[in-house]
Each structure stands twice: as structure tokens, then as C-alpha cells.
Amino acid sequence: MRRPVSIAPPKGKLGVLTPGMGAVSTTLMAGTELVRRGESTPVGSLTQMGTIRLGKRTESRIPRIKDFVKLAELKDIVFGGWDVFPDDAYKAAAKAGVLDSRDLAKAEKFLKTIRPMKAAFDQNYVKNLQGTNVKKGKTKFDLAEQLREDIRDFKKKNKLDRLVMVWCASTEVFMRPEAVHQDLDSFEKAMKTNHPAIAPSMLYAYAAISEGVPFANGAPNLTVDIPALEDFAKEKQVPIGGKDFKTGQTLMKTVLAPGFKARMIGLNGWFSTNILGNRDGEVLDDPGSFKTKEESKLGALEYILQPKVYPELYGKFTHKVRINYYPPRGDNKEGWDNIDIFGWLGYPMQIKVDFLCRDSILAAPIVLDLALFFDLAKRAGMRGIQEWLSFYFKSPMCAKELYPEHDLFIQLMKLKNTLRWMMGEELITHLGAEYYD
Ligand SMILES: NC(=O)c1ccc[n+]([C@@H]2O[C@H](COP(=O)([O-])OP(=O)(O)OC[C@H]3O[C@@H](n4cnc5c(N)ncnc54)[C@H](O)[C@@H]3O)[C@@H](O)[C@H]2O)c1
């Protein structure tokens, strides 16, 4: 990737489109509205609250990220989306039960203005879901054409300058890349013949790329992680990325595991279990959708701990992940981790983590950051996989010849160095030898 020669300023309005207007998406919409009205604080958002050090530690140059790289402002964001249920964002947010009635009431008028467009949906890919707000079309290609039309109409109606799309819809069943995913020609033919390897999420990604709209995948579905769409994104100069927002348990895993490795502490086993009761939990109750999530959650430890490089420490650990749908908890997930570690001379120790988290409260600021950073990438002429945004994903997409980087701290360094690099600032290596000359 070449360094951007220039970055177009974020003038005009930015449309943020989410396939899926459920818990995560409506929490993002309501929260953004409350923040831009000055009634709340964007906690959890690096783009809104984070700073970046520039130059030497003695220079005291620490601007906010959003001022350093000129991100779109919250007041310029216009939300839109698709869902298989016809509920407006207010009703959907009330059903999701993430926000309390006081916050919901404050955002009510605004949320009621956001009504979902008809979804490209097929129950074969999300078994535990049935809805009526669904597009009709003879072929999957027709559905993709309808999505393209939605994007164009939305842009025109709202007088938008630019758009980004972030997949916030349900997790689809597990799929592996197949022959029809290998190149654009085969992919388009497969859409026209209703091939089962073309999932609805791929139609959204295809439509976004066709319209020059960056696409980020917040779920673990294969979606845009296939050669056909990667090549298409490069050809159309569109940034893409995924997969699966890194929130609760995996966030903790990618914080703790690098710590063990840093101190050369060994690992015998890591058992993770969750209870959650929102619609996401209901969808994940289907073994097909759970398999997609499980694969996404399992990868992180292997990559961080490098068992092949450290066989005595990480050569034999057991890693299990369980998700249990338990309605009384709603969006307030509880994630338990039992971690069996060992230290000097192999003596065993245990760590127990009980994270009483709120899924969508953790996910909403991630969607906001992704929308703003993907818009930045597009304005900077960057295209294809945006690996520097791995920070936000459980299962980061990366170039074929690479392995994904999961360590949260390396991911953050990569993100910030990419911003410095884009802006022509010196990269920070943390060497610091010059202070002791
Ligand atoms: N909240 C988190 O912490 C978190 C973390 C990582 C990933 N995710 C993923 O983000 C996604 C959204 O999570 P959520 O809690 O908002 O789920 P949710 O079930 O509340 O919302 C998803 C919405 O997508 C809709 N939908 C399903 N298929 C669709 C399609 N083809 N087109 C349009 N709409 C469709 C559903 O009707 C539903 O309203 C899920 O895939 C979830 O796995 C969430």
C-alpha cells in the first residue's frame, strides 16, 4: 500500500448504513444522537476520546485523534439501515432493551425517523429468525441490484457526500470459501443462478463495493472475506474489513494473553463460557450460526501465544468456548473465564474472570469508530483490506500470506502508526535511546 498523497477533507454529510437495525445498531444511533446534542459522553470511542502522541516525548504534542486526521463530525452523520423486521429504530431499541427508558425517551423523536429498508434475507442462512420486511427478487443478483438502488436513493434523498456500510445484522451459518468465491466472474454468475454459497451478507457487500461504499463486517460471517470481493474492492478503490466486533470476552482474552506471553507464563487451558439472552443469543443458539462465532472466537489465543514458537509454554493448552442462550439476561451478558496457567518450575495457578458486560454498550462505539475510520481510508484513497483496523475485530482480515495480528496492544500501535504514516508524521518505535545521549 502506498502512502496517501492527499486526503480529501470530510466536507458534507456522511451516511452510515447498517444492514441490521437491532441492539448494536440502534444503541449506536441513540448514543450518537445524545452525544452530538451534548447530553452524553462517547465513552469507549477511540475516535472521539483518544489522543495520539506525535514526535518526541519532550514535545508535548498530543492532539485528539479526530483533530489530527480530520474525521467526519458526529453532526454530519446520517443513519440508515435494513432489517427483516419493519420496526423503526425507536421500537427496535425498546425491544432490544439495552438503553433505559430515560435515555430512550431522550432519543425517541430522532430514532422514530429511522425506518428500515426491506432486507435481502434468506432464512437458510439465519435459522432462528423470521421476518416480513424482506425484498423479493428472482435471483440473488436482482436482490443485490435492489440494494444498490437503496444506497443510491438514500444518498440522494439525504443529500449525502459519502457513505459507509457496517454489517450489524445477525450471524449467518458457517461457510467455507468455495470455487464461486474465487473470482468476480464466478461470483456474479453464482448470484444469477442462486447458488447456495452466496449468503445475503455477500449481497450487501457486493452492493456496497459496486457503489464505491466502504464495507466493514461486524459479524463473523464469511461475507467480504473472499478473493472475489477483495479483488472487486481493490478494483473499485473501496476499503473493506472485518470480521466480528471485538467486544467482551475476546477483548479480555486479547488483553490478558499478551500479558502472560510477555512474562513467559505458561498456559494449560482456557475455558470460556457465556450466558446471554438477546436476539443475537437466540440466533447463536442455532448450531450453524454458533459454529461461525466459535471459529471466530477460537483463533485469537493460537495466534497470540504462538504454540509452535513456544512449545514448552503453549504447546498443549486446551481452549473451549461456550455460548448459552439464557433469556432472563437480555443484552447483559455474563462471561466466565477459567484460566489455568503455570509459572516457575511448572507450578500451576488459576485466574477466574467474571465479566458482567453489556454487549451493545461495548459494540456501539466500535461501529462509530469503524464508520469514521473507513470513511477516512476512502478519502485517503486506500483500498482493499484495512488491516490497520484489526484493533476492532475478533477475527481480523489480512493479506493471504500473513497471519492475523490479535494482540490488542500491537493492534493499537499499528492503528496509531498508520495514522502517523498517513499524515507524514514520524512513526513511534518506543526506542527512546535519544533521551540518554
Ligand atoms: N454486541 C456485541 O458485543 C457483538 C460483538 C461482536 C459481534 N456482534 C455481532 O453483531 C451483530 C449484531 O448484533 P446485535 O446484538 O445487534 O443483534 P440483533 O439480533 O439485536 O440485531 C441483528 C438484526 O439484524 C437483522 N437481520 C438479520 N439478517 C438480516 C439481513 N439479511 N438483512 C438485514 N437485517 C438482518 C435482525 O432482524 C436483527 O434485528 C450480530 O451478528 C452479532 O453477532 C455483536
pLDDT tens column, 35-84? 999 999 999 999 999 999 999 989 999 999 999 999 999 999 999 999 99
Owner of C-alpha cell 435471483: 139
What confidence tier does 434 reach under pLDDT thresholds 50, 70, 90?
confident
Cα-based distances in Å from 202 to 15, 172, 242, 351: 20, 11, 13, 40
Distance 169 CA to ligand 1 centre (A): 3
Proportion of the chain above pLDDT 70, given as a percent: 99
Residue 334 to residue 29: CA distance in whole angstroms: 24
pLDDT tens column, 258-291? 999 999 999 999 999 988 887 777 777 777 777 7
Distance 280 CA to ligand 1 centre (A): 6
Distance 218 CA to ligand 1 centre (A): 8
Of all protein residues, the one whose alpha carbon is nearest to atom 29 of ligand 1 is 169
Say if ligand 1 is within 6 A of residue 125 CB: no
Say if ligand 1 is within 6 A of residue 173 CB: no
Distance 311 CA to ligand 1 centre (A): 38
pLDDT tens column, 371-417? 999 999 999 999 999 999 999 999 999 998 898 988 999 999 999 99
Say if ligand 1 is within 6 A of residue 20 CB: yes
Antiparallel, parallel or unpaired: β 266-276 and 334-342: antiparallel
Kindly report the pTM of this predicted structure.
0.95
Distance 332 CA to ligand 1 centre (A): 15
Q: What would the grid cell of residue 385 be?
A: 483490506
Say if ligand 1 is within 6 A of residue 200 CB: yes
Using the predicted structure, report yes or no on whether residue 140 has a pLDDT greater than 90: yes
